[in-house]
Amino acid sequence: MKYWIVLSAWLLAASGSLQAAEQKLSQQEEQQLGQIRSILVKHPEIIPGVLGSIESYVEQRQLQQQALAKHKDWLFNNPQMPTMGSSKPELQLVVFTDYNCPYCKRMELEFAKLLREFPNLQVVNVFVPLRQIKAQGTELSSGAFALEVWQQDRKDFPRVHELLMAKNGMHTGNSLQQVAKATGTEQYLKPSSSADELMHTNVRVFSELGFGGTPTLLIGDEVIPGYIDYATLKAVVQQVLERQG
């Protein structure tokens, strides 16, 4: 993504429009900018294709930002969405996640580290059942079970969430039973129209935002698709906190 941002900046400079769109670049981005300029000077025949790609990216980015503005309250100020961390956060991170996604499970470990190091953060979980509508052997999905626990017995949610994320592979009716028994939440192992409706809306919002998979993370104005390691996650959070400060 940053490749196109840097390349766009150079093309704007070439057209005399850099001051209107200037942004502060990191040292690494400045170096990349120089490399890109050198390539384009040597191969000017590729400039039209590159410009077309950048224009397409900018258009898609604008549409995504419009969709984010439309759904901002749903994502950031929705008490139905399960959260971890501070109840009065300095910064919220919204993650589109799935209990059956292996990369979401890995990402959850990074969130746990992050919340220990930054106790004033909050992670908002938006469950999207991309891999499994219902767990094998039951009429319930893992996400719907977690949402029912959040709505009915919030104090038990963190442990339920932890165990659901810790399961290797796809959830089944048996694995949900095991989690419920370990947490004393068996009474919530039943289909819920409110949880199903929330999950349906989550999937629609996910689609309107143009996202393609889980996990997808929103931090400030940053959209980060896929798993990222802790060092990268921490660096992005620190950058956003610095901009806000």
DSSP classification of residue 96: E
Neighbours of 185 (CB within 10 A): 21
Q: Collapsing DSSP states into helix, strand and coil, what is residue 82?
A: coil
For the purposes of burial, counting CB atoms within 10 Å of the CB of 229, is it exposed (0-12), middle (13-18) or buried (19 or more)? Answer: exposed
Threshold 0.75, pTM exceeds: yes
> For each of the chain's 245 residues, which pLDDT tens digit applies?
444 444 444 444 444 334 334 557 778 888 888 888 888 889 889 988 888 888 877 877 777 778 788 889 989 999 999 999 999 999 999 999 999 999 999 999 999 999 999 999 999 999 999 988 889 999 899 999 999 999 999 999 999 999 999 999 999 999 999 999 999 999 999 988 999 999 999 999 999 999 999 999 999 778 999 999 999 999 999 999 988 87
Domains and CATH numbers, the chain: 75-244 (3.40.30.10)
Q: What angle do CA 171, 211, 172 make, to 5 degrees?
A: 5
